Amino acid sequence: MVTALENDPDYRQLLRDAGLRVTPQRASIVTILSETDDHPNVEDLYEKARALDDTVSVATVYRTMSVLENAGLVRKLVMDDAPARYEMTPPTDHDHLVDVDSGDLVEIPGTEIAELMGRVAAELGYQIVSHHTVIRARKT
């Protein structure tokens, strides 16, 4: 069930804090993205957003995701052979594992990976902006 937009001042504020205008389209998209547990691609978002607000266009979904990614509110997950998926930037970092047989996307909990990467980047004289790991694996 999707919460009525009027009851979600949170997301509106999130947008404002990022210096972005709060449009109904953006509100719908962010609401959907916040309330889902999976990692939708643009098509998913477009369809669900349309159900809330039938003025949303695909182009706007793309533009919104780009803008949100830039603002650091959203993370883009680039897949090997499928359209990109998105998730709200998670409070606790995690990486992803794709089940090559079923296509499932599993979150890898914990910060071990992130910590190691930070250390490794530091050794090379770099500071991490973002990192993205996708493991392709098969159930044992």
- What residue type is 136 in one-letter code? R
- Rounded Cα distance, 43 and 11, in Å: 21
| In the complex, minimum distance from the CB of residue 65 to DNA, in angstroms, rounded to a whole number | 7
- Is residue 99 involved in binding its own copies (CB under 8 A)? yes
Element (H, E) at 7: none
How far is 32 from 104, CA to CA, in rounded Å? Answer: 20
* Binding piece for DNA, criterion CB under 7 A, among 58-66, 92-100, 121-129, 131-139: 58-66
Strand segments (E) across 58-111? 74-77, 85-88, 95-99, 105-108
Q: Does 129 bind its own copies (CB under 8 A)?
A: yes
Give the pairing type, strands 105-108 and 74-77.
unpaired
Site map (CB under 7 A) of DNA, residues 79-118, x = contact: --xxxx----------------------------------
- Can residue 16 be called a binding residue for its own copies (CB under 8 A)? no
59 is a site residue for DNA (CB under 7 A): yes
Which CB sits closer to its own copies, 7 or 127?
127
